[in-house]
C-alpha cells in the first residue's frame, strides 16, 4: 500500500504539472483502483480485529468506533456565558438564564409578530388543477360509505340464494 501511495502521488504530480489527457486518464484509473484496494484492505483489517476481539465487548466497541472515525472526545463545559453583555461564571446562574430564555421564547416571539388582517390563505399557493384534494367527509357521506359493503354483501347473498329459482327479488335493506 505504501508503494501504491507513492505511485499515486507521482501520477498526481504528473497530472498537475502537465495535464494532458493521457496523464489525467492514468491518474483517474490508478486513483480508482487505489481507493478500491484501500477500502478492501481496511475491511480486511477491521474484520481481523473484530474476529480477535469477538469475546471482549469493550474492545469490540473500541474497534467499531475507530472504524467509524468516531473519537471519544467529550466537549467541555464553557468557562462562562455572556448574557446581556454580562459574563456569567456560576453554573446555577447560567442554568437559570437558559431556563428563563427557553420558558419565555414562545411568548416573546408571539409578542414580536405584528398583527395583520390578511388571512393566511393569501400566503398559500393556489391549488393546482391536477392535484387531488379530498374534502372532509360529512356524517351522511361517511354513513353511506360505511353501509356500501353491507349492501353489497346482502345483494351477493341474495343473488346466490336465488340462483336456484331464477327469481331475483332482493330487498335493499
pTM of the model: 0.39
Cα–Cα distance, 24 to 14 (Å, whole number): 8
Burial of 4 (0-12, 13-18, 19+ CB in 10 A): middle
Contact 81, 88 (CB under 8 A): yes
Cell numbers for 128:
393546482
Per-residue pLDDT of the chain (173 residues; tens, 9 = 90+): 778 888 888 888 888 998 888 888 888 888 888 898 888 888 899 889 999 988 999 999 998 888 888 776 666 778 888 988 999 998 899 899 999 999 999 888 888 888 888 888 888 877 766 766 665 656 556 666 666 677 777 777 766 666 555 555 555 54
Amino acid at each position: 500500500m505504501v508503494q501504491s501511495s507513492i505511485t499515486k502521488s507521482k501520477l498526481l504530480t504528473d497530472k498537475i504539472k502537465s495535464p494532458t489527457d493521457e496523464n489525467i486518464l492514468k491518474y483517474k484509473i490508478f486513483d480508482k483502483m487505489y481507493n478500491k484496494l484501500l477500502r478492501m484492505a481496511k475491511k480486511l483489517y477491521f474484520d481481523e480485529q473484530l474476529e480477535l476481539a469477538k469475546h471482549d465487548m469493550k474492545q469490540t466497541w473500541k474497534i467499531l468506533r475507530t472504524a467509524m472515525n468516531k473519537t471519544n472526545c467529550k466537549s467541555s463545559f464553557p468557562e462562562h456565558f455572556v448574557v446581556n453583555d454580562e459574563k456569567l461564571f456560576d453554573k446555577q446562574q447560567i442554568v437559570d438564564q437558559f431556563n428563563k430564555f427557553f420558558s419565555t421564547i414562545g411568548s416573546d416571539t408571539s409578542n414580536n409578530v405584528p398583527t395583520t388582517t390578511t388571512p393566511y390563505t393569501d400566503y398559500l399557493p393556489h391549488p393546482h388543477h391536477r392535484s387531488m384534494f379530498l374534502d372532509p367527509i360529512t356524517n351522511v357521506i361517511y354513513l353511506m360509505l360505511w353501509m356500501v359493503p353491507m349492501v353489497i354483501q346482502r345483494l351477493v347473498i341474495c343473488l346466490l340464494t336465488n340462483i336456484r329459482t331464477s327469481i331475483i327479488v332482493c330487498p335493499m335493506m
